[in-house]
């Protein structure tokens, strides 16, 4: 037996929802689509999965082509497959969302794709079902970040607690009491205080912290006790 007979085959694409945080707002890295249909419309960065390529490899390749980055946090979001989602021909899209430190990719915008960081509050219309993808990614980010310490992926290696708080406030569009916030974050034991301070955003300066990678990996599934015990209903 060499093939399954009588079945239709489809194109499979990967699209990347790429988040960044500039210290004030959550942003998405979008491109201007380079080919028809919908050429020059805003779009997620994407590409077709090659014959011999896994989804993860395709997603990493596509992200790397745009940003030059490797080892970025990525996670499969959802498979979109409405028959008519791409008007040209049936194309399935496996979406991945990525969290990157915006400082690692800020200026060297790849001219080939006319990429830009665009605030989530001011999203333009996107092609096809990409707006839906973004919306789902944002929901998943909120959902997941409430339980797992993934937002650190959006920050530089060294960051301050006020920066971290601004990030959480941007993600959830709320404000937190700084005393409670810092106590809660420090109580996880995931942060290692540095000797130096960030002196840019205040006169007094705020101490830098680094993630404790070991505890990060160990605690990934039990961060802020947002899921307490498995028997926790409600």
Partner DNA sequence: CCAAAAGTGTTGTTTGTACACCCATGT
Partner DNA sequence: ACATGGGTGTACAAACAACACTTTTGG
Check residue 3 for interaction with a copy of itself (CB under 8 A): yes
Whichever of 57 and 205 has its CB closer to a copy of itself, that residue is 57
**Considering only 8-16, 26-34, 61-69, 115-123, which stretch makes contact with a copy of itself by CB under 8 A?**
8-16
If contact means CB under 5 to 8 A according to the sort of partner, which of a copy of itself, DNA, none does residue 36 touch?
a copy of itself
Check residue 37 for interaction with a copy of itself (CB under 8 A): yes
Pairwise CA distance, residues 97 & 15, whole Å: 8
Pairwise CA distance, residues 188 & 82, whole Å: 42
Within 10 Å of residue 17's Cβ, how many Cβ atoms? 27
Distances (CA, A) of 145 to 48, 141, 177, 208: 29, 6, 18, 21
The dihedral sign for the CA sequence 129, 130, 135, 137: positive
- The pattern of x and - marking residues 79 through 118 that bind a copy of itself according to CB under 8 A reads x-xxx----xxxxx-x------------------------
Angle at which helix 130-145 crosses helix 161-172, to 10 degrees, equals: 130
Query: Length of the chain, please?
Result: 234
In the block, tokens 């980010």 appear at: 141
Binding site for DNA (CB under 7 A): 160-162, 177-180, 182-184, 187, 197, 199, 201-207, 224-225, 228-229, 232, 234
Check residue 220 for interaction with a copy of itself (CB under 8 A): no
Question: Which spans of this chain sit near a copy of itself (rule: CB under 8 A)?
Answer: 1-4, 7-12, 36-37, 48-55, 76, 78-79, 81-83, 88-92, 94, 142-143, 146-147, 149, 168, 171-172, 174, 176, 181, 184-185, 187-188, 223-227, 230-234
């Amino acid at each position: 037996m060499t093939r399954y007979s009588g079945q239709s085959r489809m194109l499979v694409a990967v699209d990347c929802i790429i988040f960044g945080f500039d210290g004030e707002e959550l942003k998405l890295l979008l491109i201007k689509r380079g080919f028809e249909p919908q050429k020059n419309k805003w779009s997620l960065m994407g590409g077709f999965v090659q014959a011999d390529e896994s989804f993860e490899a395709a997603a990493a390749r596509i992200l790397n082509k745009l940003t030059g980055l490797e080892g970025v946090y990525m996670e499969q979001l959802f498979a979109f497959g409405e028959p008519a989602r791409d008007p040209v021909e049936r194309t399935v899209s496996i979406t991945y969302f990525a969290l990157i430190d915006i400082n690692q990719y800020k200026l060297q915008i790849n001219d080939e794709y006319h990429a830009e960081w665009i605030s989530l509050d001011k999203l333009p219309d996107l092609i096809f079902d990409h707006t839906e993808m973004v919306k789902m990614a944002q929901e998943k980010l909120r959902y997941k970040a409430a339980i797992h310490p993934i937002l650190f992926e959006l920050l530089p290696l060294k960051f301050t607690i006020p920066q971290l708080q601004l990030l959480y406030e941007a993600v959830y569009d709320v404000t937190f009491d700084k005393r409670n916030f810092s106590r809660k974050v420090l109580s996880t034991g995931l942060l290692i205080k540095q000797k130096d301070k960030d002196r840019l955003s205040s006169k007094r300066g705020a101490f830098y912290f680094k993630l404790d990678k070991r505890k990060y990996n160990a605690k990934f599934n039990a961060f802020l006790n947002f899921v307490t015990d498995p028997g926790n209903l409600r």
